[in-house]
Amino acid sequence: MLRTRVFSAIVLVAVLGAGLYYGGLLWWVLLLFISIIGYNEFCRAVRRIPVEGKSNDGSSSDEDPRYETALPEIAGYLLSVAYYVVILLSRKYEYMIFTIVIAVVVFMICFVARYPEYDNGRILKDFFGFLYIPVMISFLYLIRLRENGFTEVLLVVISSWICDTFAYFTGRAFGRHKLAPVLSPKKSVEGAVGGTLFSALFGALLALLTHGNIGVYALVAASGAVVSQFGDLFASGIKRDQGIKDYGNVIPGHGGILDRFDSMIITAPVIYILCCTMA
């Protein structure tokens, strides 16, 4: 299991590293693929019916038979592709907002056209999934378009994956106080602080290597680390509500796309905003 997990991590880092390095269309295609798979995992997760009284081991829920892949979810896939095409061709923020507004209208039409086949909860979940995954992940592409985009995407990686790694080790060594006892009993306040501090340290090191502003990079990385941990807990909360262990099995030894990108989803737009205002 450990060997599979390590091998999958190496392959994942290699693929993402190549896409990030070359940027452009390759990075766009890779992020679109991640968004579509992630959206599918989210839709499958939220349409499960938790079974009370069973452990959260991935076998405590079943898919709601009423929630087959249908019009609202298909609309989400098509809108995700349309949104990515818009940011690829236009790169104008007003067109991105227009696409999101159109998405609201499309989901409303799906609800009205097939009422009462789809209840409002189904529509709201699918629309939220569109915002939560494809739109939020797209900020990795928007960051890469910036003048120092390659380096700034690395800040996202530091704020999410580096933070997660060092929060784990710090928590194991010094963890005494639970961070979120119900959502994630294994996470500790000490681990969260350690992950944030190490993120700031790696942000400063990145600044030294790239001739950036040490204070700004450290602050951006630390801020992103704080947010990333909320993103991780949020994704864990959805899994706990639905009674599942992982979002999927696309990445052997790691679970699904959302299991690896849950913190990065929320970190990317925050880092983008911070870089636009501070860098």
Total count of domains within the chain: 2
Mean pLDDT score, 101-107? 95
- pLDDT tens profile 39-87: 999 998 988 766 654 544 444 566 555 555 578 899 999 999 999 999 9
- pLDDT tens profile 4-52: 777 888 888 899 999 999 999 999 999 999 999 999 999 989 887 666 5
E strands, the chain, are: 48-50, 61-63, 178-180, 184-188
Domain stop point among 104, 128, 145: 145
Domain stop point among 127, 145, 163: 145
Look at residue 121 and tell me if it is in a domain: yes
Task: Indicate the average pLDDT of the chain.
Answer: 89
**pLDDT at 97 > cutoff 80:** yes
Peptide linkage before 181 cis (omega within 30 of 0): no
Domain stop point among 115, 145, 175: 145
Give the CA distances from residue 79 to residues 11, 241, 244, in Å, rounded to whole numbers and listed in that order: 29, 27, 27
Segments forming the whole domain that contains residue 134: 22-145
Look at residue 6 and tell me if it is in a domain: no
Phi/psi at 178 (5° precision): -70, 135
Specify the long-range contacts of residues 115-120, CB closer than 8 Å, at least 24 apart: 117/70, 118/70, 118/71, 118/72
Q: Are 60 and 51 in contact (CB under 8 A)?
A: yes
Look at residue 192 and tell me if it is in a domain: yes
Q: Are residues 118 and 181 in the same domain?
A: no
Look at residue 102 and tell me if it is in a domain: yes
- pLDDT tens profile 106-151: 999 999 988 888 888 889 999 999 999 999 999 999 999 999 999 9
pLDDT score of 279? 59
Give the CA distances from residue 83 to residues 74, 137, 265, in Å, rounded to whole numbers and listed in that order: 14, 12, 16
Look at residue 251 and tell me if it is in a domain: yes
Higher pLDDT, 61 or 93: 93
